[in-house]
Amino acid sequence: MLDPSSLFGNANLNFRSFASDENILQHILRLSEQQRGRSGTPPASKDAVKNLPEVNITDSHCKVSEESKEYPRCSICCEDLTDKATQLPCGHLFNSECITQWLGEHNQCPVCRHELPTDDQDYERMKAQRQQQNSSPQSQ
């Protein structure tokens, strides 16, 4: 038999208080959702990260005035991007090392939350269902 402490750690729960298996499953789902909320989104897929373009920083990326040139900054480490940067599909630029580490933990742009694909099939399935629900007309 499954030991409840393996699911809930050392949580002090009285399992006899659940009226049915359905209540236990609902409780497990709630805890799972709470855990996902604490950890954020899953990592971006390795292929998505590997295929991100590296761009050369040019004057078109900079704010240039007669007196100065302001380079874009990596919003993770706050360093100027003076030579090359990795560009996400949303257009935001980052130091390659910074964004690679970030995407190893999250599948979203740290600036605008644009999502990259993940290798987490359950997450992708839930995301597709949410998108389908949001795009389907409301029945009245």
pLDDT in tens, 41-68: 899 999 999 999 999 999 999 998 888 8
CA–centroid distance for 105 within its chain = 7
pLDDT at 101 over 60: yes
Identity of the residue numbered 12: N
Which pLDDT band holds residue 139 (cuts at 50, 70, 90)?
Answer: very low
Closest by Cα among 127, 93, 126 to 109: 93
What is the model's pLDDT at position 58?
93
More confident residue, 89 or 1: 89
Q: Which amino acid is residue 32, in one-letter code?
A: S
Question: C-alpha angle 130/122/8, rounded to 5°?
Answer: 110
pLDDT at residue 66, as a whole number: 87
Structural domains of the chain ordered from first start: 46-103 (3.30.40.10)
Closest C-alpha among 67, 69, 71 to residue 57: 71
Lowest mean pLDDT among 34-38, 80-84, 88-92, 103-107: 34-38
H or E element: which one contains 47?
A: helix 46-50
